[in-house]
Amino acid sequence: MKRAPTVTRFLAAAAQLVLTGCIYNKQSAVNPAGPQAGRIDTLWWSFFWLLGVIFIIVMILTLLTLRRPRRDFDQQRIETTHKASEETDSRLRRIITGATILTIVILFVLIVASSVVGKQNSEFSTAPNQLTVQVTGNQWWWQIEYLNSDPSQVLVTANEIHVPVGRPVQIRGLSNDVIHSFWVPNLNGKRDLIPSRVTTQWIQADHAGEFRGQCAEFCGLQHAHMAVWVIAEPEDKFLAWYKAQLQPAAKPSTPEQQRGQQVFLNYECVYCHAIQGTPASGQNGPDLTHFGSRRGIAANTLPNTTGNLAGWILDPQSVKPGNHMATVPVSSTDLHPLVEYLESLK
């Protein structure tokens, strides 16, 4: 009796997730936004219609068999001693042989089609304007690093990837702990992130939009709360965002923000987080240099709002149980300026 509410809540949450994906198409493999996802979409619908037709034919044959008139006991006894004619036996052999050959051909075609799409999606791009983004999986958030031969142009952020429309982007996957799987279904299929190994994947957005991604490999308690957003923008907007993100954190502009900065630097926050332009240089947690410009907190578990941020700082375990963020005893007088300072980092 006690399990019913839990099951009901689970089904309601699952239905809400599916409905949200269907309505907004923010995380859907059948709403492709790039060439890689377009190939997967074509392959999926080809499989769907072909196998759907086969399923319907099988069901029709099954129903026809079930509707055959029933024989009485004497007729069944006679049939058990009756030997089929050579013509009937030969016809059955031809039917079975033909069905077997057709099945093998269909399976072979499906395997070849799947292999061709996989090969095309894994081909290395030689475009001169390609972008390389290193994505590192952590329990349970994503570190995003834009690689560049010029160290001054290397950008580090978290849980959001901005890409220019029409440019190929190489996702260079790493993991700091367990196996994760990077998956943005509108742009490409899944790619595992394996400790001590580097995996690669290509994505390209054909139009501007926001596409939700997810860790697709169970990686622990908060696996479901490990989301990433890919935001595709026109080239000029992307370059403006990139240039702004390379700048140090904005200096506090009000006395309240100045106090909030001191609160941040005086608490244990500095041991895990970095804010460029300040003494904070922790590497265990997300870089917070431009935290205020991000759409979500706790790997997009919650929208980035004042109330959510305050609750996350005070008691992160109640929001995301099992996460590795320490519960810091921030006093009520320090909380408001700290939140205001973090929100100003844009």
**Domain spans of the chain, in order of start:** 16-69+124-245, 255-343
Cα–Cα distances (Å) from 140 to 145, 177, 186, 201, 287, in that order, read 17, 10, 22, 21, 14
Quick check: 155 and 245 in contact, CB under 8 A?
yes
Reduced to 3 states (helix: H, G, I; strand: E, B; else coil), residue 133 is strand
User: Of 228, 227, 234, 183, which Cα lies nearest the Cα of 205?
Assistant: 234
Tell me which CATH code domain 16-69+124-245 carries. 2.60.40.420
Reduced to 3 states (helix: H, G, I; strand: E, B; else coil), residue 20 is helix
What is the Cα–Cα distance from 16 to 22, expressed in whole angstroms? 10
Between 230 and 13, residue with greater pLDDT: 230
Reported as a pLDDT band with limits 50, 70 and 90, residue 129 is confident
- Whole-number pLDDT of residue 342: 94
Q: pLDDT tens digits, residue range 261-297? A: 999 999 888 989 999 989 988 889 999 999 999 999 9
- Whole-number pLDDT of residue 16: 54
Q: pLDDT tens digits, residue range 52-96? A: 999 999 999 889 888 877 665 555 555 555 566 777 778 888 888
Round the average pLDDT of the chain to a whole number and report it. 87
**255-343 CATH pick, 2.60.40.420, 1.10.10.10, 1.10.3720.10, 3.40.50.620:** 2.60.40.420
pLDDT at 298 exceeding the cut of 50: yes
Percent of the chain surpassing pLDDT 70? 88
Between 200 and 19, residue with greater pLDDT: 200
Before 44, cis peptide (omega within 30)? no
Q: pLDDT tens digits, residue range 302-337? A: 999 999 999 999 999 999 999 999 888 888 899 999
Reported as a pLDDT band with limits 50, 70 and 90, residue 116 is very high
Question: How far from each other are the two terminal CA atoms of the chain, in whole angstroms?
Answer: 50
3-state percent breakdown (helix, strand, coil) of the chain, nearest 5:
45, 20, 35
- Same-fold call for 16-69+124-245 versus 255-343: yes
